[in-house]
Chain A
Amino acid sequence: MPTETPAGPAAAPPRTEREPNAMSRAHHQARQRRRPRAPRRLVPRLLTGSVLLVFTVFFVLPVLWLVLAATKTDQQLVHGSPLSFGSWHAFRTNWDRLTAFQDNAVLQWLGNSTSYALISLVITLCVAVPAGYALAMTEFRGRHTLLVSTLVVMLMPTATLVVPLFLEINAVHLIGTMWSIILPYSFYPFGVYLTYIYFSTAVPRDLLAAARMDGCSEFGVFRHIALPLATPVIALVGFFSFVANWTNYFLPYVMLPESDQMPVQVGVGSLLSNVPSFNPAVGTLAIERPQLALATLLAITPVLIVFLFAQRFLVSGMLAGATKE
Chain B
Amino acid sequence: MTLTHSPAGSAARRRRGAARQSRAGTAFVAAYVLLLIAFGILPTGYAVYFAFTDAGGTFTGFANFIDTAQDFRFMDAVGHVALYLLFWLVSLVVFVVALALLLHRLASGAVSKSLRFLFYIPGALAGAASVLVWLFMLDPAVSPVSSLLGMLGFHTFGEVIAPGNLPLLFTIIAFWTGAGGWIVVIHGALDNIPRDVMEAARIDGAGAWQTAWRVQIPMLRKWIVYMVILAFAGGAQLFVEPQLLSLASVGVAGRDYSLNQLTYDFAFQMNNVNGAAAVSVELLVVSVSAAAVFVARSRFFDAD
**Taking beta carbons and an 8 Å cutoff, which residues of A are in contact with B?**
1-5, 7, 13-17, 25, 28, 44, 48, 51-52, 55-56, 58-63, 65-66, 69, 77-78, 82-83, 126-128, 130-131, 133-135, 138-141, 143-144, 146-157, 159-168, 171, 183-184, 186-187, 189, 192-193, 197, 200, 205-206, 209, 212, 218-219, 222, 243, 247-250, 253-254, 265-266, 268-270, 272-273, 275, 277-281, 289, 292-293, 296, 299-300, 303-304, 306-307, 311, 314-316, 318-319, 321-325
Contact status of A157 and B144, CB under 8 A, knowing A52-B115, A218-B21, A243-B124: no
A16-B206, A61-B144, A157-B287 given; name 6 further pairs at CB < 8 Å. Answer: A48-B105, A48-B106, A82-B146, A218-B20, A273-B248, A299-B128
Asked whether, in the complex, the Cβ of B33 is within 8 Å of the Cβ of A152, the reply is no
Q: Say whether B115 contacts A152, CB under 8 Å.
A: no
Instruction: Report Cα–Cα, A192/B35, bound state, in Å.
Output: 12
Q: Is the Cβ of A14 less than 8 Å from the Cβ of B205?
A: yes
Known A149-B36, A200-B302, A272-B247: A250·B107 in contact at CB below 8 Å = no
Question: By the criterion CB–CB under 8 Å, are A151 and B127 in contact?
Answer: no
Q: Check A48–B102 contact: CB distance below 8 A.
A: yes
A-B contacts, 17 listed (Cβ < 8 Å): A13-B208, A16-B207, A17-B209, A61-B145, A127-B31, A128-B32, A155-B229, A163-B276, A167-B43, A243-B123, A254-B264, A292-B132, A306-B124, A318-B181, A318-B185, A322-B185, A322-B226
B303 and A189 form a contact (CB under 8 A): no
Q: Does B39 lie within 8 Å of A165, measured CB to CB? A: yes
Give chain B interface residues in 123-142, CB to chain A under 8 Å.
123-129, 131-137, 139, 141-142
Determine the distance from Cα of A184 to Cα of B287 in the docked complex, in whole angstroms.
18
A292 to B47, CA, bound (A): 37
Q: A151-B301, A153-B36, A197-B302 are in contact. Are A139 and B295 (CB under 8 A)?
A: no
CA distance A126 to B29 in the complex (A): 11
Q: Given A59-B176, A157-B237, A269-B128 in contact, is the A187-B38 Cβ separation under 8 Å? A: yes
CB <8 Å contact, A155 and B291: yes
A157 to B81, CA, bound (A): 15
* Complex interface: chain A residues within 8 A of B118 (CB): 56, 59-60
Say yes or no: A164 contacts B277, CB within 8 Å: yes
Q: Is B154 an interface residue (CB 8 A)?
A: no
| Chain B 174-195 near chain A by CB (<8 Å), digits 1 or 0 | 0010011100110011011001
Residues of B within 8 A of A61 (CB): 144-145
Return the contact of A127 from the options B35, B122, B264, B283 (Cβ within 8 A): B35
Report the separation of the CA atoms of residues A314 and B232 in the bound assembly, to the nearest whole angstrom.
23
Pair B21/A56 contact, Cβ less than 8 Å: no
**Do B29 and A135 touch across chains, with their CB atoms under 8 A apart?**
yes
B273 at the interface (CB under 8 A from A): yes
**3 shortest A-B CB distances, which residue pairs?**
A1-B109, A140-B25, A218-B24
Q: Which of B102, B112, B133 is close to A1, meaning CB atoms less than 8 Å apart?
A: B112
Contact A247 B191 (CB under 8 A): no
How far, in angstroms, from A48 to B105 measured CA to CA in the complex? 10
**B121 near A63 (CB under 8 angstroms)?**
yes
Using CB atoms and an 8 Å cutoff, list the residues of chain B in contact with chain A. 1-3, 17-18, 20-26, 28-29, 31-33, 35-36, 38-40, 42-44, 46-47, 50, 95, 98-99, 102-109, 112-113, 115-129, 131-137, 139, 141-146, 157, 176, 179-181, 184-185, 188-189, 191-192, 195, 198, 202, 205-211, 223, 226, 229-230, 233-234, 236-237, 239-240, 243-244, 247-250, 260, 263-264, 267-268, 273, 276-277, 280, 283-284, 287-288, 290-292, 294-295, 300-304
- Please tell me if the beta carbons of B36 and A161 are within 8 angstroms of each other in the complex: no
What is the predominant secondary structure among interface residues of chain A facing chain B? helix
Task: Give Cα distance in the complex from A128 to B284, angstroms.
Answer: 24
Q: Are B115 and A156 in contact, with the CB atoms below 8 A? A: no
Q: Are B29 and A250 in contact (CB under 8 A)?
A: no
A222 pairs with B129, CB closer than 8 A: no
Report the separation of the CA atoms of residues A51 and B99 in the bound assembly, to the nearest whole angstrom.
Answer: 8
Q: What separation, in Å, do the CA atoms of A304 and B276 have in the docked complex?
A: 36
Q: Which of A151, A184, A299 contacts B303 (CB 8 A)?
A: A151
- Is A269 a contact partner of B303 (Cβ separation < 8 A)? no
Known: A65-B144, A243-B124, A299-B129. A318 touches B184 (CB 8 A): yes
* Contacting pair A16 B205 (CB below 8 A): yes
CA gap between A128 and B33 in the complex, in Å? 10
Q: Which of B40, B46, B304 contacts A149 (CB 8 A)?
A: B40
**Complex Cα spacing A197 to B302, Å:** 8
**Chain B residues whose C-beta falls within 8 Å of the C-beta of A306 in the assembled complex:** 124
Residues of A within 8 A of B112 (CB): 1
Query: With contacts A59-B180, A62-B137 known, is A160 near B302, CB below 8 A?
Result: no
Q: Nearest chain B CB to A233's CB is how many angstroms away? A: 15
Contacts of B122 in A (CB 8 A): 59, 62-63
Tell me which residues across on chain A come within 8 A of B236, comparing CB atoms. 157
Best-buried of B108, B136, B234 by chain A (most CB within 10 Å): B136
Separation of A212 and B288 alpha carbons in the complex (Å): 40
Q: Is the CB of B107 within 8 A of A183?
A: no
Q: In the complex, are the beta carbons of B136 and A5 less than 8 A apart?
A: no
The CA-CA distance from A4 to B212 in the complex, in Å, is 12
CB distance from B241 to the nearest CB of A (A): 10
Whether B234 pairs with A222 at a CB distance below 8 angstroms is no
